[in-house]
Amino acid sequence: MKTQTAKILDGKALAGKIQQELSVAISELQTKVGRPPGLAVLMVGDNPASAAYVRNKEKACAKVGIASFGKHFAAETTQGELEEVIHTLNHDERVDGILVQLPLPNHLDAVGLLHQIDADKDADGLHPVNLGRLVRGETGLRSCTPAGVMRLLEEYKIPLQGKQAVVIGRSILVGKPMALMLLEADATVTIAHSRSHDLKAIAQNADILIAAAGRPGLISADMVKPGAVVVDVGMNRVTDASGNNRLVGDVDLESTAAVAGFITPVPGGVGPMTVALLLQNTFASYSRTVRK
Ligand code: NAD
């Protein structure tokens, strides 16, 4: 077994700290406002993984004092019905954040629903207006997973300016906003994807390597520059040799931890940060309404 030299970027601990700070800030502001912040998570159908994510988000809301206005809809709910619910929530003054849990049943158009959400209540930071604000470097709600990664890097004082950052994955959910946020922090950014040639050579060049491909074991120690910061966004359910189900990232943690300078574990790295940033986005919208 190789010796681990990498320092762990502990997302679970930082998420706990953020939640504690939010909890204090919420109770202070709530006495002035007369209501708590509110988040509505809309879930359609019975996908068990989605149900677990929704429960997790609602539990986290309860912990910090955010009221949940979540709704669970039958799989056959129509686009029109969901649009109507979103319009009502857009005008509900108790609700500061709205998100639609993905994936949706096939007959529904997720992007179409996203467009219906008031951009200032877009807790997931995925509305085109908020993505546009990110591209322009303007203030706005940022997508939770990449914003969570940025917060984690900031906490550990990882320098980004002028560094070579490589993002593996180009989805609108993670890869693209991640690359834009690193660019905003003055890193030199490369985006690699499934059609990139020689991923190993690209990855080896990274001072900051962000893996967001959803491919277990994609990143092995030989692809990592010694001392690099490795952030594993991947969340993959795999069945191991003894038939047990477990959650792994895109990075082979054991071998890579002997080469990298810093590394995020899975679970306990980026996942908890995503939820913490969702709460933070909801609180940001709440504070904004209060100041209006
Ligand atoms: P996606 O499937 O939409 O995108 C995957 C991206 O990876 C694509 O752009 C594709 O080009 C690239 N890719 C796939 N195989 C590749 C390969 N062999 N080499 C290089 N690039 C490759 O997925 P997503 O929604 O962006 O999510 C990515 C991963 O992050 C998934 O495992 C997902 O579960 C996880 N995720 C985690 C969190 C969290 O909170 N930790 C949040 C969102 C997504």
- For the Cβ of 173 lying below 6 angstroms from any atom of ligand 1, the answer is yes
Instruction: For residue 73, list its beta bridge partners.
Output: 44
The candidate with the shortest Cα–Cα distance to 247, out of 219, 204, 216, is 216
Tell me how many degrees the CA angle 196-168-240 measures, rounded to the nearest 5.
Answer: 105
Ligand 1 atom closest to 215 (CA): 15
The candidate with the shortest Cα–Cα distance to 154, out of 9, 5, 4, is 9
- For the Cβ of 193 lying below 6 angstroms from any atom of ligand 1, the answer is yes
3-state secondary structure of 106: coil
Question: What amino acid is encoded at 19 in this protein?
Answer: Q
Ligand 1 probe mutation, 193, 231, 248, 266, most atoms within 8 A of CB: 193
Catalytic status, residue 161: no
Question: What amino acid is encoded at 75 in this protein?
Answer: A
pLDDT of residue 126: 96
Q: Exposure of 105 by Cβ count < 10 A (0-12 exposed, 13-18 middle, 19+ buried)?
A: middle
- For the Cβ of 178 lying below 6 angstroms from any atom of ligand 1, the answer is no
Query: How far apart are alpha carbons 226 and 260 in whole angstroms?
Result: 5
- Residue-wise pLDDT for 8-22, tens only, equals 999 999 999 999 999
132 labeled part of a ligand binding site: no
Alpha helices by DSSP H, the chain: 11-33, 48-64, 79-91, 110-116, 128-136, 144-155, 175-184, 199-204, 253-256, 270-291
Ligand 1 probe mutation, 168, 197, 209, 275, most atoms within 8 A of CB: 168
Quick check: 173 and 146 in contact, CB under 8 A? no
pLDDT of residue 241: 87
Query: How far apart are alpha carbons 280 and 100 in whole angstroms?
Result: 17
Catalytic status, residue 124: yes
- For the Cβ of 191 lying below 6 angstroms from any atom of ligand 1, the answer is no
* Sign of torsion over alpha carbons 175, 266, 19, 153: negative
| Ranges under pLDDT 70 in the chain | 1-2, 291-292
The CA–CA distances, whole Å, from 101 to 15, 41, 46, 110, 189 equal 21, 7, 11, 9, 29
Catalytic status, residue 57: yes
pLDDT of residue 3: 75
Ligand 1 atom closest to 175 (CA): 26
Catalytic-role residue among 10, 96, 124, 252: 124
- Residue-wise pLDDT for 51-104, tens only, equals 999 999 999 999 999 999 999 999 999 999 999 999 999 999 999 999 999 999
